Structure 1
């Protein structure tokens, strides 16, 4: 292991709570509409419930868009040629990417510095960008980290 983000468990919990919130909001909608058409509840309740469900969906999309790009852990194999990057999925699970070290851009290549709160993890071969933080995360193996991302000075 060369890097870890201790707060990844919190992000995972928030990601799953957003899924639960959206599911509850969507499940509540049909009965509210049914009661409205039966004349039991006013239109204000229907519009309020629909607004909450739509807002929950938008927030789910926004939050998962961010959470899926946060790196939780990085590992370097013993031969120091493959970087294993762990990040969250849409459902809050763990996804591992295996990248050749030669394909990973250094901090100098991405234009980031060590002093920045959020640093980009980019590849030469693809447009996908992941993010990690040297401020909130912990560099476990400084030598191996510098082999992949350049010096930490």
Structure 2
């Protein structure tokens, strides 16, 4: 009978040993996949009602994404300008000019998008008012959905007034995560439910 072997990390494994390892890896993967799918299905089974929407969140996401595109373009343009300058294709100081434009542009985009970090686009509240689903935009323009308990949300009326309250509110979770809620520029779809849970 022919025995197949596999060379892994300087160790020869025969057919039966390799089958045991392969089955162990498969069972671990299935366990992780099933548990994550169960939690995902549990979150989907819960019914949430949209209580707030901010229509300009797409513009904020685009602005935050522009920073990433600019940094990627700069990382390609600066070495290219340096190479073309050494080959005398571009005039002198092209590398310095490209570096200056790239760095200052990245700084300006970062400063412009910093106040818009974690801007809330949508707020959802569960039927039993025990959970809040926060849909926000992060520093790089990606959507982040997070489901938290209503007890983790610090009520807005309990927070100290801030100078930026005229533009946006700054809700905070118990773990220290801060968001920006543009309530004056957004649409409150269910003020009663929203007031019961987050105020």
- Measured against the shorter chain, the TM-score band is 0.7 to 0.9
Report how far residue 7 of structure 1 moved.
0.3
Q: Distance in 2 between matches of 1:143 and 1:25?
A: 49
Q: Distance in 1 between matches of 2:133 and 2:60?
A: 20
Residue 131 of structure 1 corresponds to 180
Q: Cα RMSD (Å) of the superposition?
A: 2.0
Establish whether residue 118 from structure 1 lines up as the match of residue 168 from structure 2: yes
Q: Distance in 2 between matches of 1:47 and 1:95?
A: 37
Q: Distance in 2 between matches of 1:117 and 1:84?
A: 22
Q: Distance in 1 between matches of 2:108 and 2:130?
A: 38
1:93-122 C-alpha deviation (Å, 9 max, x unpaired): 211111111121122222248x72210111
Establish whether residue 140 from structure 1 lines up as the match of residue 189 from structure 2: yes
Residue 93 of structure 1 corresponds to 142
**Does the CA contact (< 8 Å) of 1:112 and 1:119 recur in 2?**
no
Q: Distance in 2 between matches of 1:50 and 1:13?
A: 24
User: Which 10-residue stretch deviates more, 63-72 or 133-142?
Assistant: 63-72
The answer for unaligned runs of 5 or more in structure 1 is none
**Does the CA contact (< 8 Å) of 1:4 and 1:137 recur in 2?**
yes
Establish whether residue 75 from structure 1 lines up as the match of residue 156 from structure 2: no
Q: Distance in 2 between matches of 1:116 and 1:30?
A: 45
Please give the residue correspondences for 1:41-80 in structure 2 after superposition, counting only pairs within 5 Å. Answer: 41-80=90-129
TM-score normalised over the length of structure 1 = 0.84
Change (3 A) 1:80 1:121: same
1:78-102 C-alpha deviation (Å, 9 max, x unpaired): 1100000001134422111111111
Residue 11 of structure 1 corresponds to 60
Q: Distance in 2 between matches of 1:53 and 1:88?
A: 24
Whose relative contact order is higher, 1 or 2, with alpha carbons under 8 Å and at least 6 apart?
1
Report how far residue 36 of structure 1 moved.
1.8
User: Which 10-residue stretch deviates more, 36-45 or 96-105?
Assistant: 36-45
TM-score normalised over the length of structure 2 = 0.66
Q: Distance in 1 between matches of 2:83 and 2:51?
A: 55
Residue 157 of structure 2 corresponds to 108
Residue 11 of structure 2 corresponds to none
User: Which 10-residue stretch deviates more, 28-37 or 86-95?
Assistant: 86-95
